[in-house]
Chains A and B, each alone.
Chain A
């Protein structure tokens, strides 16, 4: 028998490999410069991300891939697979990492004096994990990608070693994270046991066959489904698996909280889409009860929107408020996720894209404010508009985008997920329960305006004068401008992003009818 080596196609992996090597360089760069150059390490990390983005573009257009017209295809014996979703989310991950690093310069100057290389390098390594995850094609590489993403984040969350809140955040994140990872892995093992394969596509076929032959597979699958929902629900901070999020966001360095709320969340979305929307699509339908996952995720989305938006109102710490806000945003995203038509995943893609700019921007503004004042209390923002108008305006724009005010990108994002759910619900009476999600989403969006507007009120409509005059470094300015341009530009001219996002739906086989 002829033995054929698998086709490695290392070219497809070039961005990941490059970024990985660059992360190691960042580690050593800090040592080589004897920790003297304050900002050079950070700039080198930013440069690495820009170069990775360039390489990603070159790979995708086929320039760097010998013998192929574009960057789609599989490598490493089908374990690594590039499709539209991989491309789209890699852009998100790189963007989120870029903005997180850009807003960290203040922290690395003041608080992290001896470990700048580790700080930036770990962010890059986590990004590499996310990128691998988005290209994984089977359960094991998916799980490993998820772990690669999370483990550096455990360290990053606890990075202020002499701050007990930060260490507590890291420890909490670590223990709960390990617990959920175990749940996820247990769930995955059920899938493997039922289908006999770890390849997601093959698994879909095997499960479909079993399903078609006996209709009633027993309840063995629900244990896997529930445990995987819990495991991924942790990454997405979806209720009832969300409790760690406010504590961890509050305790960890602000740029890391931002990176957690966008990068880690996007990684969880990829994992969810790959396992559920692709692998377990047969079991979406409530008709397949009790093995169905559609309504279960629907219930969780409702919980997320209600709990996130309601509890956020009472917060006095802006990082905790943004944590609850991000819980609520994940709820909106899950509406798109359970709408299994050509609009569903596309809306998820667009939502996370818009969310990246707004949320990273808001956290960057908070980080800048915190660097200067050391406070995260909302009341400290009183009268900021007079002393630091630019920062106040940008923060207000980001919060309004999160709330979904036109013409900002956040509005279109909410519109898209609701539209996807409604088109799914109107197409088939079986899915009319999606109307409920939309209803709750609209209602809670109104709630959300409450707490977003509260910050704006404190900044602009307070008669007190703020004692703080905020100046910020160039990278922070770049991040704020990037977010500002993002929420305006992609809110007004969304077509290129929407086109890219609808390729995700197409890659999952949801074609326009």
Chain B
């Protein structure tokens, strides 16, 4: 099955193409098609994971040289190693849950089919990103996930906040992507290849100067900073919550934002050659994680709390990977790589669950503000317990999955006092704000009786994915228990396998920290023995700073956006005065010229002008009539035939299947096209003038 990995991204792509071109009028059919494709991809991913378990040390690589010029090679290919296999399963699992969930969440939306088309396009891009075997290809898919994220954040583009948020997300991540692109150029110039294996071999051989390696690694990391919403480019992710909640769960919690972590993990051989670059990574991760967790303490929007939590957890992973690179560059052993990727996996499940649960809550009460909720546990018998399981998991409570992965990150940070204190503080804050959220949402008395009365449990196709993800949130961590020898650590590793050993002291400390965070939240928001308002009043300055998210948006507005807008205004003035002046002069000449023409027209072309209005009206009628003609079909036919001819030519080299197979595919393709036109009931007016038989 592994050799067919390239099919996995193509399955959602197929769904996308079919929905966009053919089935978008059939809403439920489109959704089912999309779900069927992702389930097929999920099955393949699981099989590939099982196959990969059997050959951990021999990554499968398949590549086709797309352009093969003497000094420039571009490949399309797949690389399947344990990291890829794990990511495939994570992406397809969360993707399948989210798509099933969306059937309920998005019902009655006027753009229902389009939503599933976009989701499928996103999954294509994300899976392509995961299976890519070279930096060039990953960059293409990197941009594609950015595009689909833009489309989905702005899915309800009538809302101004959504339209603004998608622009903000696109432009902010683009800043990081610029860095990635520079890194890509450096790799192209200094390494002469984009293939992962080739690049890493050259990086490890020591022929490249250390400065270049550091610079290339940091530039590549820039891409991860943008996509994974790391400080200082984290500002887009909370705003991205304007998108539909399933999108937040899939893209802005579980998969796309994890792409940055994946990129760092994938490029680890590059980072271990440079201690400086790795240290930068670790520090950025720590700053991000701490900052986001502290902002999360005081927010009131349920999705924004989760968004800051996501930023914080991503920072956690990035920090772990950075520490691993730093340690390894200096010749020490470290569990960081395993910890970061392990947490990537467990986080995807419980954070996806949290978002889907939040979506279920929002679906029930129609507000995002947790201050207007309360007591919902009585009404939502499935959403509340699953949400609390995920909250326990993210708080790092034994024996849920978050405990095991978080524990390893603490272990990775344990040699560096600042990082250790930082990670524990973050763990404490995480437990606190998550349980603040839980207590305010699900317990106590309803603070808005009207909303509470209308609240209801969500339909089954929304709650079943929650249950499934809840099971994973409990169990997924058990593959990395420190007592089992063939666990996650010996599966996904870099360099030589790291044997985890149970450090009971650290486990106990991190468990105590998590429990104390929960206990503080319990005291403040359930028993109310400590007044939250009094605390806010006492630390007023700090509270305002956190509540306003350290004023990052305002600073960026003043430092970046305003100067750019001012400059644009200046250019506009130039245009208005200098260029328009020239244009107006030309206009004056034109008017004079047209005066002459008018005379000419009046006296010479008179007869032709009279009928003009009539002809335009008739022309419009005829044009409207023609819009239903079969021209579109002709163009579609040409396009499809170009693709089919291209495939036919491709076949010789690429698929190594013979003439007869291609002919059959060809005929099937055309038949399918004809059938689909019938299914979708596009009435081609070509029947009007059929060939022959008149």
**Residue ID in chain B nearest A243 by CB atoms:** B634
Q: Are A162 and B645 in contact (CB under 8 A)?
A: no
Q: Are B691 and A246 in contact (CB under 8 A)?
A: yes
Q: A176-B638, A210-B70, A241-B638 are in contact. Are A167 and B619 (CB under 8 A)?
A: yes
- Residue of A35, A243, A244 ringed by the most chain B CB atoms within 10 A: A243
Q: Which of B181-189, B350-358, B600-608 contacts A (4 or more CB under 8 A)?
A: B600-608
Chain B residues with CB under 8 Å of A384's CB are none
Cβ of A4 within 8 Å of any chain B Cβ, yes or no, is no
Q: Are B645 and A219 in contact (CB under 8 A)?
A: no
**Residue ID in chain B nearest A230 by CB atoms:** B642
Cβ of A94 within 8 Å of any chain B Cβ, yes or no, is no
Q: A31-B605, A219-B654 are in contact. Are A168 and B626 (CB under 8 A)?
A: yes
Within the complex, the shortest CB–CB distance from A143 to chain B, in Å, comes to 18
Chain A residues with CB under 8 Å of B645's CB are 226, 229-230, 296
Within the complex, the shortest CB–CB distance from B194 to chain A, in Å, comes to 14
Cβ of A180 within 8 Å of any chain B Cβ, yes or no, is yes
**Residue ID in chain A nearest B642 by CB atoms:** A230
Cβ of B545 within 8 Å of any chain A Cβ, yes or no, is no
Q: Are A214 and B650 in contact (CB under 8 A)?
A: no
Q: Are B631 and A175 in contact (CB under 8 A)?
A: yes
- Encoded as 1 (CB less than 8 Å from any B CB) or 0, chain A from 123 to 160 comes to 00000000000000000000000000000000000000
Chain A residues with CB under 8 Å of B648's CB are 296
B622 CB contact (under 8 Å) in A168, A175, A243, A320: A168
B649 CB contact (under 8 Å) in A218, A290, A317: A290
Cβ of B641 within 8 Å of any chain A Cβ, yes or no, is yes
A161 to B618, CA, bound (A): 9
A230 to B626, CA, bound (A): 24
Q: Are A223 and B65 in contact (CB under 8 A)?
A: no
Cβ of B625 within 8 Å of any chain A Cβ, yes or no, is yes
Q: A161-B619, A222-B646, A240-B637 are in contact. Are A290 and B607 (CB under 8 A)?
A: no
Residue ranges of B at the interface with A (Cβ–Cβ < 8 Å): 64-70, 74, 604-605, 607-608, 615, 618-619, 622-623, 625-626, 629, 631, 634-635, 637-639, 641-642, 645-646, 648-654, 689, 691-694
A230 CB contact (under 8 Å) in B74, B615, B638, B654: B638
Q: Are A175 and B650 in contact (CB under 8 A)?
A: no
**Residue ID in chain A nearest B614 by CB atoms:** A162
Chain A residues with CB under 8 Å of B689's CB are 247, 250
Interface majority SS on B: helix, strand, loop or mixed? Answer: helix
Q: Are A314 and B605 in contact (CB under 8 A)?
A: no
What 17 additional pairs, Cβ within 8 angstroms, besides A167-B626, A226-B645, A229-B645?
Answer: A114-B607, A114-B608, A161-B618, A162-B618, A172-B631, A176-B631, A176-B638, A214-B68, A214-B70, A223-B646, A226-B642, A230-B645, A240-B637, A250-B689, A290-B654, A315-B691, A316-B694
Q: Are A222 and B650 in contact (CB under 8 A)?
A: yes
- Encoded as 1 (CB less than 8 Å from any B CB) or 0, chain A from 211 to 222 comes to 001101111101
Cβ of A489 within 8 Å of any chain B Cβ, yes or no, is no
Q: Which 4 interchain pairs have the tightest Cβ spacing? A: A314-B692, A218-B68, A289-B652, A222-B649
Cβ of A179 within 8 Å of any chain B Cβ, yes or no, is yes
Q: A171-B631, A222-B650 are in contact. Are A31 and B604 (CB under 8 A)?
A: yes
B653 CB contact (under 8 Å) in A34, A219, A320: A219
Chain B residues with CB under 8 Å of A227's CB are 642
Q: Are A218 and B607 in contact (CB under 8 A)?
A: no
Q: Are B65 and A216 in contact (CB under 8 A)?
A: yes
Q: A114-B608, A219-B650, A219-B654 are in contact. Are A243 and B637 (CB under 8 A)?
A: yes
Q: Are B641 and A175 in contact (CB under 8 A)?
A: no
A180 to B650, CA, bound (A): 21
Chain A residues with CB under 8 Å of B692's CB are 311, 313-316
A227 to B69, CA, bound (A): 21
Chain A residues with CB under 8 Å of B615's CB are 161-162
Chain A residues with CB under 8 Å of B619's CB are 161, 167
Chain B residues with CB under 8 Å of A296's CB are 645, 648-649
Q: Are A210 and B693 in contact (CB under 8 A)?
A: no
- Encoded as 1 (CB less than 8 Å from any B CB) or 0, chain A from 242 to 256 comes to 011011001000000
Q: Are B642 and A164 in contact (CB under 8 A)?
A: no
Q: Are A183 and B635 in contact (CB under 8 A)?
A: no
Q: Are B629 and A172 in contact (CB under 8 A)?
A: yes
Chain A residues with CB under 8 Å of B74's CB are 218
**Residue ID in chain B nearest A220 by CB atoms:** B67
Q: Are A217 and B635 in contact (CB under 8 A)?
A: no
Chain A residues with CB under 8 Å of B641's CB are 230, 240-241
A216 to B69, CA, bound (A): 8
A35 to B534, CA, bound (A): 94
Chain A residues with CB under 8 Å of B69's CB are 194, 210, 214, 217-218
Q: Are A216 and B634 in contact (CB under 8 A)?
A: no
A155 to B70, CA, bound (A): 47
Chain A residues with CB under 8 Å of B651's CB are 290
**Residue ID in chain A nearest B607 by CB atoms:** A114
A194 to B694, CA, bound (A): 50
Chain B residues with CB under 8 Å of A194's CB are 69
A448 to B615, CA, bound (A): 41
Q: Are B634 and A172 in contact (CB under 8 A)?
A: yes
Q: Are A218 and B66 in contact (CB under 8 A)?
A: yes
Chain B residues with CB under 8 Å of A241's CB are 638, 641
Q: Are A218 and B67 in contact (CB under 8 A)?
A: yes
B629 CB contact (under 8 Å) in A115, A168, A315: A168
Within the complex, the shortest CB–CB distance from B657 to chain A, in Å, comes to 13
Q: Are B629 and A240 in contact (CB under 8 A)?
A: no
- Residue of B74, B623, B635, B649 ringed by the most chain A CB atoms within 10 A: B649
A115 to B64, CA, bound (A): 58
Chain B residues with CB under 8 Å of A315's CB are 691-692
**Residue ID in chain B nearest A213 by CB atoms:** B70
Interchain Cβ contacts under 8 Å between A and B, 14 examples: A115-B608, A167-B626, A172-B634, A176-B638, A179-B635, A179-B638, A216-B65, A217-B68, A230-B638, A230-B641, A241-B641, A289-B649, A314-B692, A317-B694
Chain B residues with CB under 8 Å of A114's CB are 607-608
**Residue ID in chain A nearest B629 by CB atoms:** A168
Cβ of A357 within 8 Å of any chain B Cβ, yes or no, is no
Chain B residues with CB under 8 Å of A218's CB are 65-69, 74
**Residue ID in chain A nearest B651 by CB atoms:** A290
- Residue of B74, B619, B626, B642 ringed by the most chain A CB atoms within 10 A: B642
Within the complex, the shortest CB–CB distance from B666 to chain A, in Å, comes to 10
Chain A residues with CB under 8 Å of B642's CB are 183, 226-227, 230
**Residue ID in chain A nearest B632 by CB atoms:** A175
Within 8 A of B (CB), among A385-432: none
Q: Are A311 and B607 in contact (CB under 8 A)?
A: no
Q: Are A234 and B691 in contact (CB under 8 A)?
A: no
A52 to B478, CA, bound (A): 88
